[in-house]
Homo-oligomer: A and B are copies of this chain.
Amino acid sequence: MDKLQRYLPILAWGREYNRTLLASDLLAAVIVTIMLIPQSLAYALLAGLPVEMGLYASILPLVAYGIFGSSRSLSVGPVAVVSLMTATAAGQVAEAGSVGYIEAALLMALMSGAFLLLMGVLRMGFLANFLSHPVIAGFITASGLIIAVSQLKHLFGVHAHGDNLLELLLSLAGQVGAMNPITFVLGVTVLVFLFWVRTGLQPLLVRLGLKEYPATLLAKTGPVIGVVITSVIAWAFGLGERGVALVGDVPSGLPELALPALSHSDWKELAISAVFISIIGFVESVSVGHTLAAKKRQKISPDQELIGLGAANIAASVSGGYPVTGGFARSVVNFDAGAETPAAGMFTAVGIAVTALLFTPYLAFLPQATLAATIIVAVLSLIDLSILKRTWQYGKSEFVAVATTMVATLTLGVETGVACGVLASLALHLYKTSRPHMAVVGEVPGTEHFRNIDRHQVQTHDTILSLRVDESLYFANASYIEDRLYELLAQRPAVRDVILMCTAVNEIDLSALETLESINQRLESSDMRFHLSEVKGPVMDTLKRTHFLDHLSGEVWLTQHQAVASILGAGENTPAAAGNGAASN
């Protein structure tokens, strides 16, 4: 039963469900539904798909996530970055809007769902940890820029294409002459209105007498006002005949349930894209989920999230949707509106279903420019260029990882961008560990502590070299450490005992062990002894399984203090020069 509950979180929260929770969830569902309608339509437009697919992707996937997901506040559905990635991938195998394009989107949802489920069953959620926060921030920012620029064509009422920022801008520049003035005025007006809604509507509602909290919530539904007003204007003034692109006929009713066409000729390419979409979607969703769960002292399980999102994507694929994930903005609204359980998401699904059943005829007059403005306003909140400054200040290698991610995303596309980011951050991490920080240490007078001679006033001895390596010893840094040790010894001809202080050595691998053996031999043949100190338990266990300790010319000491004291005590004929290491080195 416990095991079943782990895989079906609904069994846990469902049993405690009561009227109070229902009331909270219902209110949240109403707010989120009104907010989701324009967003779902807009993201479908961004994905190059018929707008109704955005609605369909906001029905069944929410129910599926409600059953399997582990977050109580996450709101699943179409999101900006995943929509962009879907468009990029489908656009490589078919013309936007064609049957093949739609089939590609459905198939990617299915493959993405299957991949996420598989990862969940294999408990591979930890893999998401290999995407560093700065890389994610850089990727999201760059994607946001691409998305915003990609929507400008709808504001201008022109056609423009391009997979990266430069192509998009060039294409736009070439088309600016063909701009439709009515579309432009309408679009810019909506844009300005939506920006005002974000900051100005809530204070206005408060002045009109609403309490702060309901005013904040109601302000989130503001974008729907833009949708209604511009639709009415387009209908009243016949803007469709004046060259303003409208959404046009949207089929009424609920989506039919059907498996997507599995025999797409480019399924291999699509599968790779589905993997990228899954990973990005998962990472975005889990970070939102973590943040919201932490606020209520709840927990989410990354492995169960994989299963929840996998189920949501499979649900999307069989009900005419496209790849979905947990969105940041909508989840925050859902949380703020008081959603207590995933039932809120299920009620939202009902709301969207009702919309699809009853309100689609009215969408025919909705200008595409309105949706484009909705997208632009939504994604501008994703753009956070300060990550460049923060990483620059914090550490150059993180800055390099972020800059690589952003430049690659902007110039080579989203999939290459995120791949470059992950590889760059891992490569930089490995590079750093391959040239570890090493410190010659001496004893802080009057204590048993050893510190870097360059940073502290410490006591050293000419015949002893105490060296601390601030890294595990492994194949990538073994020869670097060996070379550095010999350099240090060349500067210190009086040294008879070398002590490697292993406080920071968490592992010694076989390559490094061979290097230590060769250091030991070389020191021994020069009449020097090689000691280790402060070796950690697990490392010592490994060393004991080898012959290394039998051949070691020196000893393994529990503490650095014991090592130095014993060596000095044993060799009393050796003149022990005590001095200020920081000054003499």
User: A506 contacts which chain B residues (CB < 8 A)?
Assistant: 436-437, 470-471, 504
Name the distance in Å between A130's Cβ and chain B's nearest Cβ: 5
Q: Which residues, 423 to 453 on A, are CB-close (under 8 Å) to B? A: 425-426, 429-430, 432-437, 439, 447-449, 452
Q: What is the chain B residue whose CB lies nearest that of A132?
A: B475
Name the distance in Å between A137's Cβ and chain B's nearest Cβ: 9
Please determine whether A395 and B455 come into contact, CB atoms closer than 8 angstroms: no
User: A11 contacts which chain B residues (CB < 8 A)?
Assistant: none
Name the distance in Å between A308's Cβ and chain B's nearest Cβ: 18
Q: What is the chain B residue whose CB lies nearest that of A425?
A: B475
Name the distance in Å between A395's Cβ and chain B's nearest Cβ: 6
Of the residues B294, B477, B559, contact of A449 by C-beta under 8 Å: B559
Please determine whether A510 and B398 come into contact, CB atoms closer than 8 angstroms: yes
Please determine whether B434 and A514 come into contact, CB atoms closer than 8 angstroms: no
- Which of A294, A452, A510 neighbours the largest number of chain B CB atoms within 10 Å of its CB? A510
Interface segment out of the listed A234-242, A334-342, A406-414, A535-543 = A535-543
Please determine whether B394 and A130 come into contact, CB atoms closer than 8 angstroms: no
User: A134 contacts which chain B residues (CB < 8 A)?
Assistant: 510-511
A390 within 8 Å of B by Cβ?
Answer: yes
User: A390 contacts which chain B residues (CB < 8 A)?
Assistant: 510
Band of interface residues on A: 35 or more
Contact with B along A543-585 (1 / 0, CB 8 A): 0011000000000001100000000000000000000000000
Please determine whether B476 and A129 come into contact, CB atoms closer than 8 angstroms: yes
Please determine whether B479 and A129 come into contact, CB atoms closer than 8 angstroms: yes
A507 within 8 Å of B by Cβ?
Answer: yes
User: A558 contacts which chain B residues (CB < 8 A)?
Assistant: 449
Of the residues B129, B447, B542, contact of A434 by C-beta under 8 Å: B129
Q: Which residues, 121 to 179 on A, are CB-close (under 8 Å) to B? A: 126, 129-135
Of the residues B395, B509, B510, B522, contact of A509 by C-beta under 8 Å: B395
A252 within 8 Å of B by Cβ?
Answer: no
Name the distance in Å between A562's Cβ and chain B's nearest Cβ: 10
Q: Which residues, 472 to 503 on A, are CB-close (under 8 Å) to B? A: 472, 474-480, 503
A393 within 8 Å of B by Cβ?
Answer: yes
A353 to B334, CA, bound (A): 82
Q: What is the chain B residue whose CB lies nearest that of A397?
A: B509
A518 within 8 Å of B by Cβ?
Answer: yes
Q: Which residues, 83 to 98 on A, are CB-close (under 8 Å) to B? A: none
Please determine whether A434 and B478 come into contact, CB atoms closer than 8 angstroms: no
Of the residues B126, B510, B518, contact of A395 by C-beta under 8 Å: B510
Please determine whether B476 and A509 come into contact, CB atoms closer than 8 angstroms: no
A390 to B132, CA, bound (A): 35
A272 within 8 Å of B by Cβ?
Answer: no
A391 within 8 Å of B by Cβ?
Answer: yes
Contact with B along A501-537 (1 / 0, CB 8 A): 0011111011101100010001000000000000011
Contact with B along A263-286 (1 / 0, CB 8 A): 000000000000000000000000
User: A425 contacts which chain B residues (CB < 8 A)?
Assistant: 475
- Which of A398, A439, A455, A476 neighbours the largest number of chain B CB atoms within 10 Å of its CB? A476
User: A394 contacts which chain B residues (CB < 8 A)?
Assistant: 509-510, 513, 542, 545-546
A425 to B395, CA, bound (A): 27
User: A132 contacts which chain B residues (CB < 8 A)?
Assistant: 474-476, 509-511
Please determine whether B480 and A129 come into contact, CB atoms closer than 8 angstroms: yes
Q: What is the chain B residue whose CB lies nearest that of A387?
A: B510
User: A433 contacts which chain B residues (CB < 8 A)?
Assistant: 472
Q: What is the chain B residue whose CB lies nearest that of A402?
A: B510
Name the distance in Å between A116's Cβ and chain B's nearest Cβ: 19
Please determine whether A509 and B448 come into contact, CB atoms closer than 8 angstroms: no
User: A437 contacts which chain B residues (CB < 8 A)?
Assistant: 506, 536, 538
Of the residues B478, B505, B509, contact of A129 by C-beta under 8 Å: B478
Known A426-B430, A475-B132: A542·B470 in contact at CB below 8 Å: no
Of the residues B479, B503, B504, B545, contact of A393 by C-beta under 8 Å: B545
Of the residues B135, B432, B537, B538, contact of A507 by C-beta under 8 Å: B432
- Which of A426, A430, A509, A542 neighbours the largest number of chain B CB atoms within 10 Å of its CB? A509
Q: What is the chain B residue whose CB lies nearest that of A128?
A: B479
Of the residues B426, B434, B504, contact of A126 by C-beta under 8 Å: B434
Of the residues B449, B455, B475, B546, contact of A448 by C-beta under 8 Å: B449
Q: What is the chain B residue whose CB lies nearest that of A506?
A: B470
User: A294 contacts which chain B residues (CB < 8 A)?
Assistant: 518, 522
Please determine whether B514 and A133 come into contact, CB atoms closer than 8 angstroms: yes
Q: What is the chain B residue whose CB lies nearest that of A134?
A: B510
Known A294-B522, A394-B545, A538-B437: A477·B510 in contact at CB below 8 Å: no
A471 to B505, CA, bound (A): 8
Name the distance in Å between A484's Cβ and chain B's nearest Cβ: 12
A437 to B559, CA, bound (A): 20
Task: Return 22 A-B CB contacts under 8 Å, by A number.
Answer: A126-B480, A129-B477, A130-B475, A132-B511, A133-B510, A134-B510, A294-B518, A393-B545, A394-B513, A395-B510, A398-B509, A398-B510, A425-B475, A426-B426, A433-B472, A447-B559, A455-B537, A470-B536, A471-B472, A471-B506, A503-B504, A504-B505
The 8 closest A-B pairs by CB, nearest first: A132-B475, A133-B511, A470-B506, A503-B503, A504-B504, A132-B511, A455-B537, A394-B510
